[in-house]
Amino acid sequence: MRAIEEYNRYRSPEVTAELSSMSRDAFEVRFTGPFCYSCGYYDYFEDFRLELEDLGLRTKIVEVREIAEGAVVRFEIGDESEG
């Protein structure tokens, strides 16, 4: 939640993040707003991943589902170097 607060502090109302669902090893964040779809669309999601990393939580993006008003992004906890 702290990462979401920090992310929204600097990016809302252009893009707003909201926790959509959470399980033991993954979670989904809904990104909505009038953000740019043609330039840097995925950068918004990567910026959030980096915000998590700054707070000590390593994640990887495993799915991006486009929705009418933005996207729902699934993050798995851990990183690709883990077995």
CB 37 within 8 A of CB 24: no
CATH, domain 2-77, list 3.40.630.30, 3.90.230.10, 3.40.50.920, 3.30.70.990: 3.30.70.990
Q: Mean per-residue pLDDT for 55-73?
A: 95
Model confidence pLDDT, tens digit, residues 68-83: 889 999 999 986 554 4
* Domain assignments of the chain as residue spans, ordered by start: 2-77
- What pLDDT is stored for residue 36 in this prediction? 75
Nearest to 73 by CA among 9, 2, 4, 6: 4
- pLDDT by residue (tens digit) across 3-23? 999 999 999 998 999 999 999
* Residue 40 identity (one-letter amino acid): G
Tens digit of each residue's pLDDT (9 = 90 or more) over 30-42: 999 988 777 788 9
- For 27-75, the DSSP string reads EEEEEESS--SSSSTTHHHHHHHHHHHHTT--EEEEEEEEETTEEEEEE
pLDDT on residue 78: 87
